[in-house]
Amino acid sequence: MNWKNQVVLVTGGTGSFGKKLTRILLEEYQPRKIIIFSRDELKQHEMRVAGYEHPSLRYFIGDVRDRERLVRAMHGVDIVVHAAALKQVPACEYNPMEAIKTNIMGTSNVVEGALDAGVKKVLALSTDKAVNPVNLYGATKLAAEKLVVQSNAYAAGTSTRYSCVRYGNVVGSRGSVVPLFLKQRASGKVTVTDERMTRFWLSLEQGVHFVINCIGQMEGGEVFVPKIPSTKVIDLAHAIAPEARVEIIGIRPGEKLHEALISEDEARSAIELKDLFVVQPAEASWFGYSWKDKGKPLPDGYHYSSDNNASWLDVAGIKEFIAPFEADLLAGKLAG
């Protein structure tokens, strides 16, 4: 795929993922234009001041809740990366309709706006919390996934295609437990909700490169899932604050002991490749099932969760994994 000819729009472009995606696209792929679409003028200004000033960059103020503004922003766009979301679990629980308006209705607006504007590819970011959700955030992301995947039915007669990526916790993102542990380290005490808890982990850079690779491969209708390592959260605490006392405070409402990236039901229509899984839609007359010729089906009863993962990071591995993020944080590069 020749990125130099592409015009890319990123919803939620001022967030952690959006900024890292923009940086990597500018440095490694040089698309013709990148449009940062977000609702906060201050964050756009701060992004410019932080060095995100380039002839191919455009800053568009708008909200994914505003369909007309999205259509205007998507004029002439080839690729949309949909990263805008309300993702803080407690905030979504306390403000349920706001989560629904942004995560579900906003995704619907992205889907319809892209179809009206003739966008070629839309890739939406999802989360492990969308698999068997136990909180409102996960439920909204599950609904958003279904919207994106099934909207290929509307686009079957056009060149527009929709797919999703789904992955676990991102070390360098806002809301990650890593900054919390780094902050708590100074007090000599870190808080862990349950010592049995496990999570999937990947870096921002890994997540961005995975998204870019999936855009190049997508046909429409897939949910792409990377093979990434698991960690025990208590090991993460020991890696970040080895001298600190760990206090177990109890699992919070809407929190799981273990997260899943592929459910047992989804596994029946999933294909395993070397570095990723591809979940194909179970029923779709508009979708070509060429992925089945590229990988192997999963065994009966398979599910991919953070506690049954074949790949794990121990304390030493965690330290190596988070070192670049910690260095950037301490240098002030991740502020805001």
Looking at the annotation, which residues are catalytic? 129
Distance CA 148, CA 61 (A): 23
Distance CA 302, CA 310 (A): 13
Distance CA 222, CA 71 (A): 24
Task: Note whether 269 and 283 are within 8 A (CB).
Answer: no
3-state SS record for 40-106: CHHHHHHHHHCCCCCCCEEEEECCCCCHHHHHHHCCCCCEEEECCCCCCHHHHHHCHHHHHHHHHHH
CA distances from 211 to 59, 260, 322 (A): 21, 19, 21
Number of Cβ atoms within 10 Å of the Cβ of 293: 7
